[in-house]
Chain A
Amino acid sequence: SAVISQKPSRDICQRGTSLTIQCQVDSQVTMMFWYRQQPGQSLTLIATANQGSEATYESGFVIDKFPISRPNLTFSTLTVSNMSPEDSSIYLCSVVPRLNTEAFFGQGTRLTVV
């Protein structure tokens, strides 16, 4: 299993600013993922965060808007840049310790942009 500490748990931000979300895992994992969950919706994968290389972004998400760092196998950050009210969502990090096994999730960051 894996335990993930994600912070902040929530924030209210002004439009045009940026917020960095951190995820710390209690063990080394290769596969880490960032999701967005808009109000009342399912999970949308933003990107796969690979240690030692650039993140791989899904269609509709770009590095300039959602830069990701993965400096080691236990830590990652997602930045939501130049925020607008449309970025108000829950952001979740997730790890899959072994291929074809379950995913573990952080507690989520509830972001409100005003």
Chain B
Amino acid sequence: GNSVTQMEGPVTLSEEAFLTINCTYTATGYPSLFWYVQYPGEGLQLLLKATKADDKGSNKGFEATYRKETTSFHLEKGSVQVSDSAVYFCAHTGNTPLVFGKGTRLSVIA
């Protein structure tokens, strides 16, 4: 079936540290892949997306590459900031509506 598995949090990093949040998916066909971010007290916002294999989505210093061979879409950022503290959700279009992972809470400390 359709599913998304992302690393469990919480993840706590110091400012300027490197971030990786792993995401793997199961889907039929070739879904589009997304990362959403939810800041405290807010709804979900699209952070980045990739629509086909080997595409790299990027936004606000975050990147993720659509890896069809490993069915993965890991989120990375080279230097996190305190303002990046939020919950991050991986998702894909294997179904309508989207299939979401369980979310990973990131806390960045100064």
Interface residues of A (CB under 8 A from B): 6, 31, 33, 40-43, 45, 48, 92, 94, 96, 99-108, 110
Contacts and interface: CB of A to CB of B under 8 A. Distances in A.
Nearest to B97: A33
Contacts of B34: 102
A110 B43 CA distance: 10
A98 B101 CA distance: 21
B42 interface: yes
B89 interface: yes
A60 to B, nearest CB: 17
Interface string B42-60: 1111100100000000000
Interface size, B (range): 20 to 34
Contact of A42 (B32, B41, B46, B89): B89
B98 A108 contact: no
A107 B100 CA distance: 18
A42 B100 contact: yes
Q: Which 8 A-B pairs have the closest CB atoms?
A: A105-B43, A42-B102, A108-B43, A105-B44, A100-B93, A107-B43, A42-B103, A33-B97
A68 B89 CA distance: 26
Nearest to B103: A42
Contacts of A33: 97
Nearest to B29: A100
Contact of A100 (B31, B43, B105): B31
Given A31-B97, A42-B89, A100-B93, A92 B44 contact: yes
A33 B34 CA distance: 18
Interface string B86-100: 000101010011101
Given A92-B43, A100-B93, A103-B98, 18 more contacts: A41-B102, A42-B89, A42-B101, A43-B100, A45-B97, A48-B97, A92-B44, A94-B97, A96-B98, A101-B32, A102-B32, A102-B46, A102-B98, A103-B91, A103-B97, A104-B46, A108-B41, A108-B42
